[in-house]
Amino acid sequence: MRENKRKVFVAMSGGVDSSVVAGMMKDEGHDVVGVTMCFSINHPDSKKPSCCGVDGIQDARRAAQILDIPHYVLDFAREIDQYIIEDFTNEYLSGRTPNPCVRCNQYLKFGTLYAKVKSLGADYLATGHYGRIEYNEVTDQFELKKAKDLKKDQSYFLYSMRKEILPSVLFPLGNMTKGEVRALARKYKLNTAEKPESQDICFVPDAGYKKFLEDRVGNRVFQPGDFVTHDGSVVGKHKGIAHYTIGQRDKLGIALGHPVYVYKIDKETNTVHVGPESCLYSAGFYAGQLNPVSISIPQEKMEVSARIRYNAPETAAHLTYLDGGRVLVEFAAPQKSVTPGQSAVFYKGDVVLGGAIIDEPIALEEAKFEIRSTKLETNSNNKIGLCP
């Protein structure tokens, strides 16, 4: 903790992590208040645990009662629709693959909720995220860092935080493992101690995002178009670009006698481009909406470790700032399935430098990469990435 007794508002989702954070803050002697965001989301037939539905609110309220702290529920139904669900819908309809959890952190948890608790007198907002915020004496600024438990690290989803709020945000679980957290939950006798984790998008029901989009926008999601191969041949009809994402192989509904993958989605022509696995590889990408959470905007090309999706390994790259929040990222070696709409996050060691939203992959240049692989389907020159 950065100072002695302070007023700490804890964002309580109804899960074990945030419940334990509330107990930890009380143990440290702070004036603790629990707050839960209500999104008016309820899937009564769902068999999955949710962090945002009625059950989550009830679990958060019960945990607060056990800990003997005040608890309030705040209505965020309008905000989640405006900032998260509408963007989610529009991105899929544009042939992009969004990451709503990143936007939820940016606009809701560390946007509207942060502003609300500060207006109520909070010194800090604490959450159950697995990440760290530490002060760097050399640079004289706070930095966002990976969690100690890399298997639980959520720094990828946190890069969109504004750097000016870092001094007023606490991640008490950043140096803990999940096992240690559950042990504390048992010590506090919390109702959430054995509660399973929620891994899915809270507003998407069990039937999946395609059914969600169908229910929300109707026929707009079902505009058939052409499947086009990497050599320009039309090989079938797709069901609407919102049904596909970069790297997809299954459920395409076309049989060419060999595996093909979605490697490009063109909204303007309503075309889904498919080709061999080699077409999935890119030399880099352009991205927008850069948020340099732990650094200043880079004035020169800089070396970074880039992660192009949550479950992807970091890869060596060079980052160049262009203008208007746009960056150029060039890989040291070709990378697979660079997906527009996804977040790319940049690291240096355990420090989260920042991140951006991928706009456009850069096709491999024949002279730049001549990487050969027995695992890839390659052209006659045995080079990869020569797809239009």
Residues 6+ apart with CB under 8 A from 213: 89, 92, 93, 221, 242
Residue 91 to residue 209: CA distance in whole angstroms: 12
Q: Which of 51, 101, 202, 279 is catalytic?
A: 202
Residue 218 to residue 198: CA distance in whole angstroms: 28
Residue 147 to residue 154: CA distance in whole angstroms: 7
Please report the beta strands in 212-254, taking only residues with DSSP state E, as ranges in sequence order: 225-229, 234-238
Please report the beta strands in 187-326, taking only residues with DSSP state E, as ranges in sequence order: 225-229, 234-238, 261-266, 271-275, 281-291, 302-307, 315-321
| Cα–Cα distances in angstroms (integers) from residue 298 to residues 142, 163, 323, 328, 353, in the given order | 17, 15, 11, 12, 10
User: What one-character-per-residue DSSP string does 303-370 give?
Assistant: EEEEESSTTSPPEEEEEEE-STT-EEEEEEEEEE---TTSEEEEEETTEEEEEEEEEEEEEPPTTT--
Is 202 annotated in the active site? yes
Q: β-strand 31-38 against 132-136: which pairing, if any?
A: unpaired
Sort 284 into a burial class: Cβ within 10 Å, 0-12 / 13-18 / 19+.
Answer: buried
Active site residues: 104, 202
